[in-house]
Amino acid sequence: MITIKAAWHKQGYTGEDHLLPDADTHFEDLIGRQFRSVGEARKACDRLNTTRSERMAPIGMLVLFADGMTREV
């Protein structure tokens, strides 16, 4: 199991970063949620990103693994 500790739009990938919100507050719905894998967490982020009709910028996450290790993915 992993837990999402933080999520954000990565900058410098789309050429349209100025269209992204200044604060990634809509990711608050994901903070603290647990998933079976990083891939599953990424899919949840992508679904939220798509439903908000935003530009498709990559999403960065800080995740906490079951063994206590944290990693930015």
- pLDDT 10s digits, 13-60: 777 666 666 555 678 889 999 999 999 999 998 787 654 445 567 789
pLDDT of the residue at 24: 59
pLDDT band at 73 (very low <50, low <70, confident <90, very high): very high
Amino acid 6 reads A
Contacts with 58 (C-beta within 8 Å, 6 or more apart), sequence order: 9, 10, 13
Please choose, from the candidates 11, 38, 66, the residue with its C-alpha nearest in 3D space to the C-alpha of residue 46: 38
Its pTM stands at: 0.78
48 token code pair: 């939220």
pLDDT of the residue at 8: 86
